[in-house]
């Protein structure tokens, strides 16, 4: 792709740790590199991204100090060498805006996660001066458009293409052989993730599905509250992601993945797509964003009301209809295949090319 050689993009991700934004940054850089795009990554000196991107062609790494404010670092090492800056987190947007003011290099705000936007003068200014504001979902785009008074483009996050460790998956399946293994992964914030709905459904099914095992995997402020709610239900297991980092292994071992969320966001949508990509049938709640790619009875079960009773009935049905579960899982994999990393990268590539054409 000869035109790609002319496209030079500097990505900025100054977030700490490794979350959804960092995963999407990683996938985007890798796939743009396969298209021959010249890229630079500006990140903190303790970021995990450089190690994960080691060996990526056409990529340079610029680590900025985490001691001083990284938003003010590295600008004179980048100058105008790259035609466009793509900012992947809040600090990255600040860096890109400052770089634009210093050198006139246009920037794109890539918002991979749903964070309730704050309509401050500064935030409206950074959005207004951006060459484009990209959101990962319709809900985020609507919220950002209203808060920042700009038009937002939607480019959905891609599936993570998780690779379970087959021996561990088999050990989990052997451990729970003869049981119906269901589970949920995510922060233990009940008002958002709705873990209590799963616990209440398990209580309703205590006698109807005596072989049911529920894995609630995650950490958060509601851990103790949820443990108290699950008292008397020994079939409910709480696992910490600190000690169980192979979430893909658990998802692949599950018979059914349950996500009775009360508020949808990009994290939940991303996780559900990853679950679907792994071939595990899903039961979730009918919320904006989720219903963009899930249809009830087509590629999963989408609960209208999301009550414990409704969830219990869905689990009973799936338990009794194994063939239907397999059909739903296969259709779900086909849906996930519509959100491949290379497709997301192509959408960004086309956006970058259009912005460069407009600038010229």
pLDDT at 244: 41
Say whether both 37 and 83 belong to one domain. Answer: yes
Task: Encode pLDDT of 263-303 as tens digits.
Answer: 877 788 889 999 999 999 999 999 888 888 999 999 999 99
**Average confidence score pLDDT of the chain:** 93
pLDDT at 265: 75
Give the CA count within 13 Å in the CB-facing half-sphere of 237.
14
Nearest to 197 by CA among 177, 182, 219: 182
Say whether both 54 and 128 belong to one domain. Answer: yes
Which pLDDT band, with edges at 50, 70 and 90, does 245 fall under? Answer: very low
Gap between the Cα atoms of 3 and 22, Å rounded: 27
Say whether both 145 and 275 belong to one domain. Answer: no
In this prediction the pTM is 0.80
Q: Which two tokens stand for residue 150?
A: 């700009």
Task: Encode pLDDT of 302-335 as tens digits.
Answer: 999 999 999 999 999 999 999 999 999 999 999 9
Decide if 253 contacts 278 (C-beta within 8 A): no
Kindly tell me if the per-residue pLDDT of 360 is higher than 80.
no
Say whether both 70 and 178 belong to one domain. Answer: no
Task: Encode pLDDT of 208-241 as tens digits.
Answer: 999 999 999 999 999 999 999 999 999 999 998 7
Task: Encode pLDDT of 133-147 as tens digits.
Answer: 999 888 889 999 999
Q: Which two tokens stand for residue 110?
A: 């890539």
Say whether both 171 and 145 belong to one domain. Answer: no
Gap between the Cα atoms of 112 and 29, Å rounded: 14
Strands 38-44 and 212-217: unpaired
Say whether both 179 and 325 belong to one domain. Answer: yes
pLDDT at 242: 54
Say whether both 133 and 170 belong to one domain. Answer: no
Give the CA count within 13 Å in the CB-facing half-sphere of 79.
3
Domain extent, residue 154, equals 2-158+340-359
CATH number assigned to the domain comprising residue 280: 3.40.50.2000
Say whether both 13 and 65 belong to one domain. Answer: yes
HEC string for the chain: CHHHHCCEEEEEECCCCCCHHHHHHHHHHHHHHHCCCEEEEEEECCCCHHHHCCCCCCEEEEEECCCCCHHHCCHHHHCCCCCEEEECCHHHHHHHHHHHHHHCCCEEEEECCCCCCCCCHHHHHHHHHCCEEEECCHHHHHHHHHHHCCCCEECCCCCCCCCCCHHHHHHHHHHCCCCEEEEEECCCCHHHHCHHHHHHHHHHCCCCCCCEEEEEECCCCCHHHHHHHCCCCCCEEEECCCCCCCHHHHHHHCCEEEECCCCCCHHHHHHHHHHHHCCCCEEEECCCCHHHCCCECCCEEEECCCCHHHHHHHHHHHHHCHHHHHHHHHHHHHHHHHHCHHHHHHHHHHHHHHHHHHHC
Say whether both 114 and 77 belong to one domain. Answer: yes
Say whether both 100 and 135 belong to one domain. Answer: yes
Strands 132-135 and 153-154: parallel
More confident residue, 69 or 21: 21
Say whether both 45 and 140 belong to one domain. Answer: yes
Say whether both 192 and 153 belong to one domain. Answer: no
Give the CA count within 13 Å in the CB-facing half-sphere of 283.
30
- Number of compact structural domains in the chain: 2
Nearest to 84 by CA among 287, 279, 273, 357: 357
Handedness of CA 222, 223, 228, 232 (dihedral sign): positive
């Amino acid at each position: 792709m000869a035109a790609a050689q002319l496209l030079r993009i500097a990505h900025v991700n100054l977030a700490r740790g490794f979350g959804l934004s960092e995963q999407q940054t990683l996938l985007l850089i890798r796939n743009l590199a396969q298209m021959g795009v010249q890229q630079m990554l500006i990140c903190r000196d303790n970021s995990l991204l450089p190690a994960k991107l080691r060996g990526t062609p056409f990529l340079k790494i610029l680590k900025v100090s985490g001691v001083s404010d990284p938003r003010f670092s590295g600008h004179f090492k980048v100058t105008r060498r790259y035609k466009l800056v793509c900012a992947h987190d809040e600090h990255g947007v600040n860096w890109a805006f400052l770089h634009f003011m210093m050198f006139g290099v246009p920037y794109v705000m890539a918002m991979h996660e749903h964070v309730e936007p704050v309509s401050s003068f500064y935030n409206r200014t950074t959005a207004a001066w951006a060459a484009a504001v990209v959101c990962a979902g319709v809900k985020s785009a609507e919220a950002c458009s209203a808060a920042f008074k700009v038009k937002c483009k939607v480019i959905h996050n891609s599936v993570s293409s998780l690779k379970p460790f087959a021996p561990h998956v088999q050990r989990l399946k052997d451990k729970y052989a003869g049981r119906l293994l269901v589970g949920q992964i995510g922060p233990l914030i009940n008002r958002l993730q709705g873990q209590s709905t799963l616990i209440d459904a398990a209580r309703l099914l205590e006698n109807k599905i005596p072989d049911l095992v529920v894995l609630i995997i995650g950490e958060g402020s509601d851990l103790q509250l949820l443990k108290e709610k699950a008292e008397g239900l020994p079939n409910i297991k709480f696992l910490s992601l600190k000690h169980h980092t192979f979430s893909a292994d658990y998802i692949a071992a599950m018979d059914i993945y349950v996500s009775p969320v009360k508020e949808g966001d990009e994290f939940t949508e991303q996780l559900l797509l990853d679950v679907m990509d792994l071939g595990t049938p899903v039961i979730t709640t009918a919320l904006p964003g989720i219903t963009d790619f899930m249809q009830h009875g087509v590629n999963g079960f989408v609960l209208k009301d999301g009550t414990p009773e409704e969830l219990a009935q869905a689990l009973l049905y799936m338990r009794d209809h194994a063939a239907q579960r397999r059909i739903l899982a296969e259709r779900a994999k086909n849906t996930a295949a519509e959100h491949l990393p290379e497709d997301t990268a192509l959408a960004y590539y086309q956006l970058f090319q259009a912005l460069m054409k407009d600038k010229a």
